[in-house]
Chains A and B, each alone.
Chain A
Amino acid sequence: MSVLSPVASIGRATLSLLASLGRIAIFAVQVVGHIFRPPFYPREFLSALMQIGWFSLPVVGMTALFTGGALALQIYAGGARYGAEAAVPSITAIGMVRELGPVLGGLMVAARVTSSIAAEIGTMKVTEQIDALVTLSTNPLKYLAVPRVVAAVLVMPILVAVGDSIGIAGGWLVGVNQLGFNSAAYLQNTVNFLEFWDVASGLVKGAAFGFIIALMGVFHGMNSGRGAQGVGAATKSAVVAASVLILAANFLLTRVFFTS
C-alpha cells in the first residue's frame, strides 16, 4: 500500500461528495425551472398536500408537545441557578418558534415523508413506471417532483406554526401544573415577549426545510439502484441527506437571520 493511499482515498471521497452536491444542485434547478411551466398536475399536488401535510400533523404535534414540556423543565432547572425561573415562558416560546419547532418538525417530517417519497419513486423506477411515464409523454420531473416539492414548501410552514403552538402549549402545561406558574401570566408573558420576526423566521426555515425534504426524497428515488436493496439504499440515503441538509440549512439561516 502506497504512503499516499489515505490521501487518495480522501481525495476520491471529496470528489465524490462534490459530484453528488453538483448533481443535487442541477436537479434542484431543473425542478424549480419546471414549477412555473405547464402542464400542471393539480391532483398529484393535492395528494402530496395530504400526504406531507395532513398526515404529518400527529407526529409533528406529539414531537412539539413533549419538546415544549421538556424545554420548560430544563429552563426552570437551569434558570433556578441564577434565580431566573420567571424566564420559563419567554425562553420556552423563543426556543420553540426560532429553533426547536422548525428543526425538530423538519427532522420528523423528513423521517416520515422523505423516506416515503424515496421508496415510492425508487420502486417506480425499478418497476419501469418512470420509463412508462416518459413513453406516455409525461415528464417525470413535472409529474412526480414538482407537486411534491411545491406541496412540501407550502405545507411545512403551516406544520411549523402548528408545532410551535403545541410546543408552547406543552411548556404552559408543565409550567402551570408542575412548576407553579399562573396560567394567565404565563400566556401573557409569552405573547408579550415574542416578536414578529421570531415567529416568521421559523416559518421561513420551515419552507426551506420543506424544499429539502421533498427534493431529497425525489432525487434519491429517481437515482435508486436496482431491486429491493437499491430502493432500501436510496431511502436510507434520502433520509440521511435530508436530515444533514436540514441541520446545515438551519445553521446558515440562523446566522443570516440573527447575527446581523
Chain B
Amino acid sequence: MIELSDVHKKFGSNRVLQGVDLVIPKATSMVIIGGSGTGKSVLLKSVLGLVRPDSGTITLDGQDVTTGDRDAFLARFGMLFQGGALFDSLRVWENVAFRLLRGERKLPKPQAREIAIEKLRRVGLKPETADQFPAELSGGMQKRVGLARAIAAEPEIIFFDEPTTGLDPIMSGVINDLIREIVTEMGATAMTITHDMTSVRAIADNVAMLHGGKIRWTGPVSELDATDDPYVQQFIHGRADGPIESVR
C-alpha cells in the first residue's frame, strides 16, 4: 500500500502540492485526474524520490520511502514516462531489457532479448522493431516501447504518466486492456495519470482528482459519474464553464 500524508512541494513561489493525502491499496489501480499543471507528475515523482517533497510523508507498505535500501525500493517499481524517455543510444530491445541486463538479477543477453521481444509483442509491436533505434520509431511506438520497458521486469508497482497520449484509439484500447491485465493478472499496484476519460473508466479501480494542490475528490470509479462535486463534474464532462478556470 502506498500512503501519502500531507505532502507539500513548491518550486520557487509556485506551490504545486499543498497537502496531498492519498491511499493506494495494494493490487489496485488508482488513476489521478486533474487539469494540466496541477502537479500530477510531481506527485508521481515524489513517490519515486525523483522529486523531494518539502514536507509530509510518503510510505510504501508502512515504510518511509526516503529511508532504507534505495535500489531494493526502486526494483519494486516500473514507470512509463510521458514522452517515453527511451535511451537514444540503445536499440529498442536494449531499452526494454535495460533492467534485465544490469544489477543483481542480471540475465544472459539472449534471454533478456527474448523477454524484451515478448514484452514488445504485448504492447503491439513486431519483433523487427527490437533492433531499431528509438529515433527510427514514431512517437506512439516510442510510447509503447516505454511501456514494454516499464513492465519488462514484472514490477510490483507500476506508474503510468499519460499512457495513451499520442496513440490512436485502437492502440489506446490495447494499452488500457494491458494495464488492466497487469493489475488483475499480475496483482500489480498501478498509479496512472491521464486526461483520457475512456482510459479512466477502462483502467481505474479508484480515481482521485488533484486540484489546487490537494486531492479534491477520491473514490471508486463506479461513483465518479454520480458525485456532485462540481470540479469533478466539470472535468469529466470537459465543460469550459465551471469552478475550474480555463485560463491557468
Instruction: Say whether B74 contacts A137, CB under 8 Å.
Output: yes
* From A39, A129, A137, A138, contact of B85 by CB (8 A): A129
Residues of B within 8 A of A39 (CB): 102-103
B103 CB → nearest A CB, Å: 6
Residues of B within 8 A of A131 (CB): 45, 50, 81, 85
**Is A188 among interface residues, defined by CB-CB distance under 8 A?**
no
Asked whether A132 and B103 contact (CB < 8 A) given A137-B71, A137-B74, the answer is no
**How distant is the Cα of A132 from the Cα of B98 in the complex, in angstroms?**
10
**Is A30 among interface residues, defined by CB-CB distance under 8 A?**
no
Q: How extensive is the interface on chain A, given as a class?
A: 10 to 19
**How distant is the Cα of A104 from the Cα of B60 in the complex, in angstroms?**
54
Residues of A within 8 A of B49 (CB): 134
A-B contact count (CB 8 A): 46
**Is B167 among interface residues, defined by CB-CB distance under 8 A?**
no
**How distant is the Cα of A115 from the Cα of B23 in the complex, in angstroms?**
45
* From B75, B79, B89, contact of A132 by CB (8 A): B79
Residues of B within 8 A of A129 (CB): 85-88
B79 CB → nearest A CB, Å: 5
**How distant is the Cα of A154 from the Cα of B49 in the complex, in angstroms?**
35
Instruction: Say whether B103 contacts A127, CB under 8 Å.
Output: no
Q: How many residues of B contact A (CB 8 A)?
A: 23
**Is A195 among interface residues, defined by CB-CB distance under 8 A?**
no
Instruction: Say whether A138 contacts B83, CB under 8 Å.
Output: no
Proximity string of chain B (36-67) to chain A, C-beta cutoff 8 Å, 1 when within and 0 when not: 00000000010011100000000000000000
Asked whether A134 and B50 contact (CB < 8 A) given A39-B103, A128-B81, the answer is yes
Proximity string of chain B (65-77) to chain A, C-beta cutoff 8 Å, 1 when within and 0 when not: 0000001001101
Residues of A within 8 A of B85 (CB): 127-129, 131-132
Q: Which residues of A, 108-140, contact B by the 8 Å Cβ criterion?
A: 124, 127-129, 131-132, 134-138
Instruction: Say whether A135 contacts B74, CB under 8 Å.
Output: yes
Instruction: Say whether A132 contacts B102, CB under 8 Å.
Output: no
**Is B82 among interface residues, defined by CB-CB distance under 8 A?**
yes
**Is B99 among interface residues, defined by CB-CB distance under 8 A?**
yes
Proximity string of chain A (21-49) to chain B, C-beta cutoff 8 Å, 1 when within and 0 when not: 00000000000000000010000000100
**How distant is the Cα of A136 from the Cα of B90 in the complex, in angstroms?**
15
Residue of A nearest to B49 (CB): A134
Residues of A within 8 A of B79 (CB): 132, 135
Instruction: Say whether A132 contacts B81, CB under 8 Å.
Output: yes
Residue of B nearest to A129 (CB): B85
Residues of A within 8 A of B88 (CB): 129
* From B45, B50, B83, B98, contact of A136 by CB (8 A): B98
Residue of B nearest to A133 (CB): B87
**Could you list which residues of chain A lie within 8 angstroms of chain B, going by C-beta atoms?**
39, 47, 124, 127-129, 131-132, 134-138
| Seed contacts A124-B87, A131-B81; 7 additional CB < 8 Å A-B pairs | A47-B89, A129-B86, A132-B79, A137-B74, A137-B99, A137-B103, A138-B98
